[in-house]
Amino acid sequence: MNENQVSNTSLWTAYMRAYHCIHATDKIFDDFLAYDLVPEDVREQIEQQIIPEVFLPATNNIVTRARYTEDILEETIRQGVNQYVILGAGMDTFALRRQDLMENLKVFEIDQPTTQDFKLQRYAELGWKIPENLYFVPIDFTKQNLETELTHLPSYDPEAKTFFSWLGVTNYLTREEVETTLRSIANITSSGSILVFDYIDINELNLNKQSEQLQKSTEYLEKVGEPRKTGGFNSLRLAEDLASLGFNLVENLSPSDIERRYLKRCTDIQHSLRYMNFACAVIK
Ligand SMILES: C[S@@+](CC[C@H](N)C(=O)[O-])C[C@H]1O[C@@H](n2cnc3c(N)ncnc32)[C@H](O)[C@@H]1O
């Protein structure tokens, strides 16, 4: 992705959370700030580009991954987690939306500087106050080392029980970049800290004939300048791969698992993205 460009996909995912919040009859995730966060002209541009057969499954994917993450986060906060690192945060609104959970929590949003600047400017335009315990840390995973950047911050405590989320990002990195970042996470936090992330099952990429859903989303990502790289995993080998990087896999949800858990009452023809999986792992 061009580092001088605000992430287009981060605006799309915020738009999708807003769309779900406004239109869903069976609400999975309530991002009531997302609509205002996406500027009107951006909303209009997005609306002109929507391909319904991709938009609805992608929206279901975005809201289920957010729900999955924040359900586990909330549970772990009750168990004593007091730092939350959002890797590739984009337009994530957790810190403002869940002020009920912010009292004993420090939140670190990591993203590329241009996207963070855009978000900060938008918060200022909307008059939204940034909580004192929310830190914006500009990092490009392809150029900087997460370990070095986070451990330099006086506010970040490597001894604390920490929750990391990494949603919608591994897709845009190479496998090597993903592994480097995973090693950094394992190195900068205490045993028992938690990571939730989503990933593309590389078996889907390797198929002789990829699904139409996957082909269309690949074409779209190329068009908006955020092409997919190969940072996925073979879902059948995920436990071994993570173990070699310092993690114990706790849960690995396939698209069918996700649909069964969250989308049973969904009437869309294609409920979710058939190539995206969610995983939860604990640092050894
Ligand atoms: C699809 S958006 C997801 C945003 C957010 N996590 C969500 O679920 O709505 C991908 C995010 O990853 C960020 N990202 C992509 N490549 C990155 C990199 N090399 N370093 C840091 N952030 C990156 C983008 O700027 C963008 O905010």
Q: Look-up: residue for tokens 């190329």?
A: 222
Measured in degrees and rounded to the nearest 5, phi and psi for residue 253 equal: -100, 125
Query: Ligand 1 pocket, 115 CB below 6 A?
Result: yes
Query: Ligand 1 pocket, 180 CB below 6 A?
Result: no
Specify burial of residue 11 (Cβ count, 10 A radius: 0-12, 13-18, 19+): buried
Report the separation in Å between the CA atom of 7 and the middle of ligand 1, taken as the mean of its atom positions: 7
DSSP letter assigned to residue 252: E
Tell me the fold of 8-283: Rossmann fold (3.40.50)
3-state SS, 47-108, equals HHHCCHHHHHHHHHHHHHHHHHHHHHHHHHHHCCCCEEEEECCCCCCHHHHCHHHCCCCEEE
pLDDT, residue 270, reads 62
DSSP letter assigned to residue 122: H
Residues in the chain: 284
Report the separation in Å between the CA atom of 247 and the middle of ligand 1, taken as the mean of its atom positions: 22
Contact by Cβ (8 Å): 22, 9: no
Report the sign of the C-alpha dihedral through residues 44, 36, 213, 110, in that order. Answer: positive
If we measure between CA atoms, which residue out of 164, 117, 121, 159 comes closest to residue 137? 117
Q: Look-up: residue for tokens 């580009």?
A: 49
Contact by Cβ (8 Å): 80, 105: no
If we measure between CA atoms, which residue out of 184, 201, 202 comes closest to residue 193? 184
Alpha carbon distance 226, 222 (integer Å): 6
User: Of all atoms in ligand 1, which is nearest to the CA of residue 90?
Assistant: 27
Report the separation in Å between the CA atom of 158 and the middle of ligand 1, taken as the mean of its atom positions: 23
Report the separation in Å between the CA atom of 141 and the middle of ligand 1, taken as the mean of its atom positions: 10
Alpha carbon distance 253, 1 (integer Å): 28
Positions of the chain with pLDDT lower than 70, given as ranges: 1, 266-270
Domains of the chain: which residue ranges? 8-283
Query: Ligand 1 pocket, 68 CB below 6 A?
Result: no
DSSP letter assigned to residue 133: T
Residue 23 in tokens: 């239109």
Query: Ligand 1 pocket, 172 CB below 6 A?
Result: yes
* Cα–Cα separations (whole angstroms), residue 172 to 38, 120, 135: 22, 23, 24
Contact by Cβ (8 Å): 269, 183: no
Report the sign of the C-alpha dihedral through residues 58, 63, 64, 68, in that order. Answer: positive
